[in-house]
């Protein structure tokens, strides 16, 4: 079963063909850094990128504290590159996860699962404390959306789904619009499947414009929209997108304060035998309290000082 402690608000792609980008990535603060061997690396550069990435991971004495997870995006299982990607990298030190593009059916994940099980023997012999690699599947075709149920059940290592808009738009001849309405069905299917199979992450599409105030505005709108739909993170292509994404996918301060007040008052309501009660004129009952617990727990993982907010509202009573 996937661990629910993984926080993946921003997933930043770093082309593994660029030594400069890989070095830069270590200075960033991001829940996830994904070194890319797929679309940002040309066929002629695949081998060099693989070995460069392996050397990069091996050269780290530890994963930087500001980075939650280091991952590699391999090439699609249907290409001649995937097996070499896995044999070169699946036993690499400091690697936490493998991002698999163009997952079309359960068999794509079964293949990767079998290969990483072999690599795990080597990983374990060099570092007995190493955890098993997690898998994150990119959903980017109509076929994949139709087969989400079997994809989600295909591997015990699966720990998240990612929606990839560009390839999905290509597959369905979709024209992307700023409101993203054309992707509603696929995005909603993905977050629903991730939840149904208890996968900790559902990660939304890339915001392709990343420059200037316009880029930030569009990114903030997309993050808000994705968060409202149930995604808990977003793919990024440029370091400037990471801070905004990390912030937007963390609970907002006002939201956390509201839910802390509910938890404090609910203790008093429960002690008085009240299951439904009122705060600021709004009805509070079990599902609201459940949501309050979830949001406050996430805020704590995002580094917010919950005890301080609780102390501020310690006298909060139900109305
Ligand atoms: N990862 C790490 N560092 C990156 C980066 C990335 N994805 N993108 C940019 N940087 C670094 C640059 O090296 C530069 O560092 P410096 O300030 O220390 O010199 C800084 O961030 C600013 O970069 P900038 O000059 O604005 O961008 P660029 O023109 O060098 O690169 C892109 C722009 C789009 C080519 C680049 O961001 C990129 O390749 N992104 C990833 C694309 C990708 O992986 N696509 C496939 C997945 S969808
Ligand atoms: Mg793609």
pLDDT at 35 over 50: yes
Indicate whether 318 belongs to any domain: no
Residue 257 marked in a binding site: no
For the whole prediction, is pTM greater than 0.85? yes
Same domain, 71 and 91: yes
Query: What is the tens place of the pLDDT at every residue in 164-189?
Result: 999 999 999 999 998 999 999 999 99
Indicate whether 259 belongs to any domain: yes
Rg (CA), the chain: 21
CA of 238 from ligand 1 middle (Å) equals: 5
Indicate whether 4 belongs to any domain: no
Indicate whether 1 belongs to any domain: no
Indicate whether 317 belongs to any domain: no
**Domain-terminating residue out of 226, 248, 270:** 248
Q: Is 292 left (phi over 0), alpha (psi -120 to 50) or beta?
A: alpha
How much is the pLDDT for 235? 98
Enter the DSSP assignment of 16. Answer: T
Same domain, 69 and 131: yes
Task: Ligand 1: list residues with CB < 6 Å.
Answer: 13-15, 20-21, 24-25, 36, 39-40, 206, 237-239
Confidence of residue 126 (pLDDT cuts 50, 70, 90): confident
Indicate whether 281 belongs to any domain: yes
Total count of residues recorded for the chain: 319
Distance CA 52, CA 55 (A): 5
Pocket test residue of 238, 240, 245 for ligand 1, highest count of atoms within 8 A of CB? 238
Residues 6+ apart with CB under 8 A from 27: 64
Q: Give the residue-averaged pLDDT of 297-304.
A: 94
pLDDT at 4 over 80: no
**Domain-terminating residue out of 195, 220, 248:** 248
Same domain, 270 and 195: no
Residue with CA at minimum distance from ligand 1 atom 39: 15
Closest approach atom of ligand 1 to CA 15: 44
How much is the pLDDT for 1? 38
Same domain, 189 and 302: no
How much is the pLDDT for 120? 81
Query: What is the tens place of the pLDDT at every residue in 202-227?
Result: 999 999 989 999 999 999 999 999 99
pLDDT at 259 over 70: yes
**Domain-terminating residue out of 230, 248, 266:** 248
Nearest ligand to residue 140 Cα:
2
Same domain, 81 and 154: yes
Residues 6+ apart with CB under 8 A from 92: 53, 54, 57, 58, 72
Same domain, 269 and 128: no
Same domain, 150 and 224: yes
How much is the pLDDT for 90? 94
β partners of residue 158: 135
Mean pLDDT, the chain, whole residue set: 95
Indicate whether 5 belongs to any domain: no
Distance CA 80, CA 75 (A): 8
Residue with CA at minimum distance from ligand 1 atom 8: 238
Same domain, 79 and 222: yes
Same domain, 134 and 261: no
Q: Give the residue-averaged pLDDT of 32-60.
A: 98
Query: Whose CA is closest to 305, among 295, 296, 316?
Result: 296
Same domain, 262 and 187: no
Query: What is the tens place of the pLDDT at every residue in 237-253?
Result: 999 999 999 999 999 99
Provide the number of structural domains found in the chain: 2
CA of 26 from ligand 2 middle (Å) equals: 24
Residue 143 marked in a binding site: no
> Which domain covers residue 204, as residue numbers?
10-248
Distance CA 233, CA 224 (A): 11
- Please report, for the domain that includes residue 49, its CATH number: 3.20.20.60
Same domain, 200 and 87: yes
Same domain, 151 and 286: no
How much is the pLDDT for 124? 76
Distance CA 24, CA 14 (A): 9
Confidence of residue 299 (pLDDT cuts 50, 70, 90): very high
How much is the pLDDT for 314? 97
Distance CA 250, CA 234 (A): 12
Confidence of residue 5 (pLDDT cuts 50, 70, 90): low
Enter the DSSP assignment of 249. Answer: T
β partners of residue 71: 34, 97
């Amino acid at each position: 079963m996937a661990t629910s402690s993984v926080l993946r608000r921003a997933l930043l792609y770093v082309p593994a063909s660029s030594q400069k980008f890989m070095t830069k990535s270590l200075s960033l603060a991001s829940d996830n850094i994904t070194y890319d061997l797929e679309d940002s690396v040309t066929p002629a550069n695949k081998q060099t990128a693989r070995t460069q990435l392996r050397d990069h991971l091996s050269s780290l004495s530890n994963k930087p504290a500001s980075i939650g997870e280091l991952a590699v995006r391999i090439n699609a299982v249907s290409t001649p590159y995937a097996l070499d990607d896995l044999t070169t990298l699946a036993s690499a030190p400091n690697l936490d996860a493998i991002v698999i593009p163009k997952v079309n059916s359960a068999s794509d994940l079964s293949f990767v699962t079998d290969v990483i099980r072999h690599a795990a023997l080597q990983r374990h012999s060099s570092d007995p404390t190493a955890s098993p690699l997690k898998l994150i599947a990119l959903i980017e075709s109509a076929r994949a959306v139709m087969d989400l149920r079997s994809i989600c059940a295909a591997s015990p290592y699966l720990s998240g789904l990612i929606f990839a808009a560009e390839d999905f738009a290509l597959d369905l001849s979709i024209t992307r619009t700023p409101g993203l309405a054309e992707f509603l069905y696929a995005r909603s299917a993905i977050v629903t499947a991730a939840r149904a199979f208890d996968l900790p992450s559902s990660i939304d599409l890339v915001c392709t414009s990343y420059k200037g105030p316009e880029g930030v505005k569009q990114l903030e709108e997309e993050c808000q929209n994705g968060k409202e739909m149930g995604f808990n993170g977003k793919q990024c292509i440029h370091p400037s997108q990471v801070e905004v994404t990390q912030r937007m996918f963390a609970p907002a301060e006002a939201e956390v304060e509201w839910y802390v007040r509910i938890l404090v008052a609910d203790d008093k309501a429960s002690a008085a035998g009240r299951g439904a009660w009122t705060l600021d004129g709004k009805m509070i009952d079990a599902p609201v309290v459940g949501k309050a617990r979830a949001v406050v727990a996430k805020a704590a993982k995002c580094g917010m000082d919950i005890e301080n907010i609780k102390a501020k509202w310690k006298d909060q009573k139900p109305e």
